[in-house]
Structure 1
Amino acid sequence: MSERSAAIQHHRNHLRLGWRVVVILLLITSVLAFLGVSAVRQDAAILLNPESIRELVTMVGALLVVVVALVGVYSVMVDFVFWEGWMQGLPDPRDLFPALDPNASGHRHYLVYLDGIHQSEEDHPPRVSEFLQHLEQAIDRDSLLVKGIEAYTITPVGLKSTPFGHWFWQRLFSLQEHHPNGWVRFLCSFCVQANNVIKVGISSDRRYGPVMNYELALKIARRLAAIGFHPSRASRVVLVGYSGGGEMAIGTAAMLQKLCHVPVQVITVCGVFSGNGDLETLEHVSMVVGAKDPVAALGRIAYPGRLPLLPLSNWNRWLTYGRLHRYEIASMSHNGNSGPFSRHYRDQVVAAICSELALTQAG
């Protein structure tokens, strides 16, 4: 019995020791948790300090400025690298359209869609794709809608496949889609938008714009030639540009007209454009605008050449011909659920485009 009592007493002592260890661990954990919460509160208080917020905003702003500068240098340099022939992609315009095959069939009217600055590859976002499907069904059988042209690269491919830069853009798109940090995804998306915005700015510039616009005109002409376009059979090319794509369309139209040897007209949808392009040879430019579109309205202010105060600007001199047709859609904004691609407004936008096509029917 004495051995059994000793065993029981040993077991009780062991249990008491275990509870003491648990209590001590709980006390240590509570102290560490309290210290951790205090530290977090202290750090949060520091971050909420006006000076800290100002410093953080300054650092983020400086980073964005550096990123935009680098993207801008890339956007300008790749145009001139392509122009100088280092990428072996600048074709001879005389070879664009070979002799016409008498047995070949083709369309008379070609609509070329140029997307806004959100475009990052040849494929369009779902909402834009649905809009283009509706437009494709609404145009007549003698017209062909050309989709998938990346307006912010000069090579026949999108950013992910551009020579000398595909490794950078592929990495950027991968981070944009898969990185767990929201700030990193935002910064990568911002870089893509910055590249496209800078391309719009280059297109509107009188010094460097003609180089990039000519390269984009060649890109469009090569796509048209690949799908059966021929100057002896086609009647016209219509450039439909959304948002910043409106600037790309207006900047490219005159050069594309010379390359394709057919009239080229422009239809902008919520267009943001300068009007600095060579417009004298264009017969028709039309605008589909939203009554509540602040972006397009800001674009007009950002480009003084479109203001009536400068009557000798390219845009205002062209307006003297009286060929501008304006289609205003009530309550429509620039994008989102109230934009031109939303279910509520896309049918009205398609109807406006078709009305313009019928009004300016060529040949």
Structure 2
Amino acid sequence: MTLRVFGMSFVVSIAALIAAFLYGGTTAMVLTLILGVLEVSLSFDNAVINATVLARMSEFWQKMFLTVGVIIAVFGMRLLFPLMIVWVTAGLNPVDALDLALNPPTDGSPTYESIVTAAHPQIASFGGMFLLMLFLGFLFEDRELTWLSWIERPLQRAGKLRGISVVVALSLLVLTATYIAPDDETSTVMISGALGLITYIVVNGFGELFHVEEESSGGPSGLVKATGRAGFFLFLYLEVLDASFSFDGVIGAFAITADPIIIALGLGLIGAMFVRSITIYLVHRGTLSEYVFLEHGAHWAIGALALILLYSLGTDVPELVTGLTGLCFILAALATSLWYRRQHVVDDVHI
């Protein structure tokens, strides 16, 4: 099973490294490998959250996620998205933007990297609010099993207040725009953050709407797989979620290289493929049901990432800090899951 799930990722990764070598020699190949490893190591929380959604989807939509979804992740987010930023903010069409990226100016005019980096306020506020809404939706949801119970249980009771997630998210957005973001970016942060919040509500709302309709057609809800419109909106939700996770990765990649081809090969072909393979592996092995707090840890990692994105509007945050924060939550959740399993095995034996 492992070979079947990860086999294509290894094949694509080898092809990406060969392409990088033909494109820019050994240096380009090494940079591509570094970007790929970083993307995989920093995106495990993304894979866990993806797995919770993917488990609700039919086999057809799971395959769509691994095929069409990869194309969107590679060419959409890792290649076209930065070019579109340059297109919108600098008035350059995508072809000229690509030419600017491949041929950096030497006369002191704005570079491709500087233009994309300058769009950080819009990117961070949009992605931060989308991920924050995902975290708050989980935090205020009523669940039997809690991880950080001293925090989660009181917040679950608060979750009975209708619209509490939106109230908290908007309050943090206002505080961020007022006290953290630069003065000349206040309106930009407010608009982009509001769009991130609206996007989450719309996409997640449609996904839940059609998922409920599918479940009501018959059969136990735990066995129903989303198909048709339900599967499409869950697929769309996953793609927006993946985009939100990749925002900081794309910007952070410029600390290593500004070449869009290398970024697409490393973050996209290698990184995105392996993240998707890990997602499928988690679904097929039933890892989330076996390690019961892994989903909790992933959501807390998402909450941390959302706050870091909003905080980064006023202060630079190293990519390593972002990745290690998420990794700590995942490892802590894994450790407590193992402890929980041992305790319940002992209890079952005594019974």
The TM-score, its normalising length taken from structure 2, stands at 0.29
The structure number with the bigger radius of gyration is 1
Higher share in helix: 2
Using CA pairs under 8 Å that are at least 6 residues apart, name the structure with larger relative contact order, 1 or 2: 2
The TM-score, its normalising length taken from structure 1, stands at 0.28
Higher share in strand: 1
